[in-house]
Amino acid sequence: MKNKRKREQPRPAIHPRNKYSEKPPDFALLASFYPSFKPFVFYSRDGRPRIDWTDFNATRELTRILLHHDHGINWWIPDGQLCPTVPNRSNYIHWIEDLLLSDIIPRPNPNQDNVRGFDIGTGANCIYPLLGASLLGWRFVGSDVADVAIEWAERNVKSNPQISDLIEIRKAGTDASCSQVEDPYNENSNLERKVDHAVRDDCYSGPPILYGVVRDGETFDFCMCNPPFFESMEEAGLNPKTSCGGTVDEMVCPGGEKAFITRIIEDSVKLKHSFRWYTSMVGRKINLKFLTSKLREVGVTIVKTTEFVQGQTCRWGIAWSFVPPVKKIISTHVAEKPNLSFMLQGLQRQSSAFDVLQSIESFFRVSGASCKLNVSSFCVDVSASPTITITTISS
């Protein structure tokens, strides 16, 4: 039997709606417009203008002038704070825009009016609210725990009166632990115990992330997060090719990004439909499998992932929702017999078998049937009437 050649996957590219997708920043041109940037530009042997990416002052000045030149945003951060790259952060914004515009889950705002996002750990740079408000007119709440981050985020917002009404900066509390909290949103105590068991080994013990920061009755279209990727500052300093700054609060979390995003998952189970989409950036591809498995355990209706590419830097995005996916029943044959045949439409081509099972379960629940999803045997047991029981198995 001949071995099949493994199909080569095309390398992901910068998002097509990204301002820099077809025309990357021209350092020489920018230096001619902004004298403050000129000292940081040098020319390589091939004559191309470059900057030293290990120089924090150079990367900060580049971010400042790109935000001003291409987005009309006034911006600054003090020494040591995390300095974002504008093209990479724009990729994340446009991916969320894709999720909101998609037909994966119902759209309450077909015209994308009054979109409201929540930026977890907005930092002194406040980059996501500033970009989302300036590019797309989105409203934002940006949260953080550090006083210096709150102070400079507010400064950056106030420095841009054209969008300042769209952005609220919110201080997250400091009283948090891994112990279970009485949850007014949770309708399934068994599921809550399941989540507690799932996250026990990678328990996040820092300040509140979403639950306890989102106020009663608040709803958002999405949340986003550039989590602390590392478990220590020593680990954070292993990349000698870049210098983007970053405080301990921004860079480090016990358990790293895996523990931090796991806590977002835990919070999302409590908040459920307070958000249409929960999302986070992921720094290590190996963590995607772990996080996807956690999401399936807690019963989300859809999981999406993507890869963000900018230059030599790769990051990944993960998104999930508890909103039932859009689907249409083309035909059903509901005769009184032990096997029902039906067809689901509206699932994405890349939907996994688990997605199909969850869609089947959701359909029958909406129809008033009693059903039980058995993950271990990969089946859905459906009781459509006192006399009819159907087992639907997906392969």
Residues at the annotated binding site for S-adenosyl-L-methionine?
89, 121, 144, 226
Evaluate whether 186 touches 195 at the Cβ level (below 8 Å).
Answer: no
**Paired tokens of 354:** 């688990």
Distance from C-alpha of 252 to C-alpha of 121, rounded to nearest angstrom: 12
- Contact assessment for residue 261 and residue 227, using Cβ atoms and an 8 Å cutoff: yes
Cα torsion 264, 270, 274, 277 to 10°: value is 40
Pairwise CA distance, residues 319 & 102, whole Å: 13
Task: Round the CA-based radius of gyration of the chain to a whole number and report it.
Answer: 23
For the record, the structure tokens of 274 come out as 């307070």
Q: How far apart are CA 24 and CA 20, in angstroms?
A: 5
Q: How far is residue 283's CA from residue 257's CA, in Å, rounded to a whole number? A: 8
Report the relative pairing of strands 220-225 and 167-171 from DSSP bridges: unpaired
Give the DSSP H/E element, type plus range, for residue 168: strand 167-171
Range list of β-strands (E), 250-378: 275-282, 302-310, 313-321, 328-333, 341-345, 370-374
Closest C-alpha to 82, from 24, 130, 153? 153
The SS3 call for residue 391 is strand
Half-sphere exposure in the Cβ direction for 394 (13 Å, CA): 21
Instruction: Using DSSP bridges, classify how beta strands 313-321 and 328-333 pair: parallel, antiparallel or unpaired.
Output: unpaired
- Residues annotated as binding site? 89, 121, 144, 226
Nearest 5°: phi and psi at 339? -120, 125
Q: How far apart are the first and last CA of the chain?
A: 24
Q: How far is CA 60 from CA 57, 113, 337, in A?
A: 5, 33, 68
* Nearest Cα residue to 227 out of 279, 191, 271: 279
- CB-based contact 244:283 (threshold 8 Å): no
